[in-house]
Homo-oligomer: A and B are copies of this chain.
Amino acid sequence: MIFLTRRAVFSASHFYWNEAWPAEKNEQVFGRCANRNGHGHNYTLEVTVAGEPDPVTGFVVDLKWLKEVMEREVLAAYDHRHLNLETLEFAAGKLIPTTENIAISAWNRLQPAVQAAGGAQLTRVRVYETPEVFAEYRGGQ
The listed residue (B8, B37, B57, B81) touching A35 by CB distance below 8 A is: B81
Is chain A's interface secondary structure helix, strand, loop, or mixed overall?
mixed
In the complex, the count of this chain's copies comes to: 6
CA distance A131 to B9 in the complex (A): 11
A116 contacts chain B at the CB level, 8 A cutoff: no
Q: Which residues in B have their C-beta under 8 angstroms from that of A136?
A: 2-5
A11 near B137: Cβ-Cβ < 8 Å: no
Of the four ranges (under 10, 10 to 19, 20 to 34, 35 or more), the interface on chain A belongs to 35 or more
CA distance A5 to B16 in the complex (A): 19
A117 contacts chain B at the CB level, 8 A cutoff: no
B135 near A32: Cβ-Cβ < 8 Å: no
